């Protein structure tokens, strides 16, 4: 088993190909990723967050996110986020 000794010369660091991270294609995708990160949304609910961000305005999602942060201090905040988004839709109608 070989031991990884790391780069031996400074040229080794620059010769490695860079791993390029793709930015989101649409602004709503970036917003969805932010919501997922801030609320700790589990993997099985991430598609729902993307759908909400795609179908609703940025202002609406940010308002729901801010209300969730203010009102839900403990527990699973992502569940509360979905309740807030649903209740605000009903109020609008």
Spatial neighbors of 28 by CB under 8 A, at least 6 apart, are 50, 53, 54, 58
Residue 56 has pLDDT above 80, yes or no: yes
In a domain, 70, yes or no: yes
Is 7 contained in some domain? no
Rounded to whole angstroms, the Cα distance separating 15 from 27 reads 34
Does 55 fall in a domain?
yes
In whole angstroms, give the CA distance from residue 93 to residue 90: 5
Which residue range is the domain that position 29 belongs to?
25-92
Does any domain span residue 19?
no
Does the pLDDT value for residue 8 go beyond 90?
no
- Each residue of 41-52: pLDDT tens digit? 999 999 999 999
Q: Identify the band that residue 25 occupies on the pLDDT scale cut at 50, 70 and 90.
A: confident
| Residue 10 is assigned to a structural domain of this protein | no
- Model confidence over 64-74: pLDDT tens digits? 999 999 988 88
pLDDT of residue 37: 94
pTM (2 d.p.)? 0.70
Please check whether residue 33 is in contact with residue 46, taking contact to mean a CB–CB distance below 8 angstroms. Answer: no
Q: How many domains does the chain have?
A: 1
Six-digit token string for 52: 């909400």
Look up residue 11 and give its two tokens. Answer: 């040229």
Calculate the average pLDDT of the chain.
Answer: 85
Measured between alpha carbons, how far apart are the two ends of the chain, in Å? 66
Contact 38, 65 (CB under 8 A): yes
């Amino acid at each position: 088993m070989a031991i990884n000794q790391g780069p031996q010369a400074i040229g080794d660091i620059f010769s490695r190909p860079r791993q390029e991270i793709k930015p989101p294609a649409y602004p709503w995708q970036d917003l969805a990723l932010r919501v997922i990160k801030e609320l700790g949304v589990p993997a099985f609910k991430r598609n729902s967050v993307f759908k909400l961000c795609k179908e609703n305005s940025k202002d609406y999602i940010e308002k729901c996110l801010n209300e969730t942060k203010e009102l839900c201090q403990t527990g699973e905040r992502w569940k509360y986020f979905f309740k807030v988004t649903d209740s605000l839709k009903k109020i609008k109608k």
